[in-house]
Amino acid sequence: MIIGTIEVQTINSFSKLESLKGVYGLLWLFVPALTLILGIIIGVLVIVWLEREISAAIQQRIGPEYAGPLGILQALADGTKLLFKEDLLPSRGDIRLFSIGPSIAVISIILSYLIIPWGYRLVLADLSIGVFLWISISSIAPIGLLISGYVSNNKYSFLGGLRAAAQSISYEIPLTLCVLSISLLSNSSSTVDIVEAQSKYGFWGWNMWRQPIGFIVFIISSLAECERLPFDLPEAEEELVAGYQTEYSGIKYGLFYIASYLNLLVSSLFVTVLYLGGWNLSIPYISVPELFGINKIARVFGMTIGIFITLAKAYLFLFISITTRWTLPRMRMDQLLNLGWKFLLPISLGNLLLTTSSQLVSL
């Protein structure tokens, strides 16, 4: 059988088309992850700028104003400075673990963004155990802090690492009990299902009203997990010269700096998802896609509105955490542990028992 020239060209063009489709498909796999990372970086820069501006306004002083218009490039300038600073290494420390510690802290927090629903059907991984995956992943970050303090071969750094681990363990348990209460109330551990369960009744269907005790405990525990004032004892400058970060400089110190703001942003987003209705409007029985129709342009516009609503609620919590930093005094270590073990743990456990009882009665 003889194949003509036209048939050969057709086969070649078909094979090229199939190979291009394979390349595009492979590249498309990385687009959501790269988009998420870019959005996270921009979000961190915005948080740093907001914190400096809000802190300046509270203290009645001038904030950053020279690096870019209104000082919006100040955080980028600081990051560039840390990137080019000399990276000092302790002569008697474990150099390999010394470099791994900050990476563990950052990567474990970035993985938490995979299960956050930014809008209607806009989530990288809608898992049935989403919220508990977040808790398990976030529990890895204190290991990086403890490693960093230990391998620095500095007693102040080691003490700061121990404080970070003790604080994280103390407040991780109440946080988990609050999340378990939300899962029982929503009959699901998926973040998407939790948001949709709140959307049925509009504003009054938010878990903030259905779980007020858990909401308060969750906020306090989130601030402690993020090591924000009044819970920033692991890196308190007056006591521990930055704690587990004492021996770090350059980009490694910058990774700890980024990790703290990444953790603050992810905690704000989970407050939004678990208690503030996520991407949904406060109108009963109306969702964003239905409100804007079903054509493609309306879908894109609806997704944009959903992302905007999610970020607006998250940044509201960020504003509260920033103002808290300049309002409340720092706690002592014994007060911090007493608050976690003697108050928040029994309260969150009682809230879980009440939620379980109400769910059994409603069956």
pLDDT tens digits for range 117-167: 888 778 888 888 888 888 888 888 888 888 888 888 888 888 888 888 888
Give me the pLDDT at residue 26, please: 62
Q: Which residues on neighbouring strands pair with residue 119, listed in sequence order?
A: 122
| Type of residue numbered 2 | I
Taking 50 as the pLDDT cut, the residues of the chain under it are 1, 8, 14, 284-285, 292, 294
How do residues 2-13 score in pLDDT, each as one tens digit? 555 655 455 555
pTM of the model: 0.85
Q: SS3 letters for the chain?
A: CCCCHHHHHHHHHHHHHHHHHHHHHHHHHHHHHHHHHHHHHHHHHHHHHHHHHHHHHHCCCCCCCCCCHHHCCHHHHHHHHHHHCCCCCCCCCCHHHHHHHHHHHHHHHHHHHHHCCCECCECCCCCCCHHHHHHHHHCCHHHHHHHHHHHCCCHHHHHHHHHHHHHHHHHHHHHHHHHHHHHHHHCCCCHHHHHHHHHHHHHHHCHHHHCHHHHHHHHHHHHHHCCCCCCCHHHCHHHHCCHHHCCCCHHHHHHHHHHHHHHHHHHHHHHHHHHCCCCCCCCCCCCHHHHCCCCHHHHHHHHHHHHHHHHHHHHHHHHHHHHHHCCCCCCCHHHHHHHHHHHHHHHHHHHHHHHHHHHHHHC
Burial group, residue 292, by CB count within 10 angstroms (0-12, 13-18, 19+): middle
Nearest 5°: phi and psi at 122? Answer: -120, 75
The CA distance from 223 to 175, in Å, is 11
Q: How many residues does the chain have?
A: 363
Q: Kindly list the distances between the CA atom of residue 249 and the CA atoms of 87, 104, 214, 293, 352, in Å, as whole numbers in the listed order.
A: 6, 17, 39, 52, 43
Give me the pLDDT at residue 201, please: 77
Give me the pLDDT at residue 23, please: 60
Nearest 5°: phi and psi at 280? Answer: -80, 150
The CA distance from 45 to 128, in Å, is 32
| Type of residue numbered 193 | D
Give me the pLDDT at residue 1, please: 46
Q: Which residues on neighbouring strands pair with residue 122, listed in sequence order?
A: 119
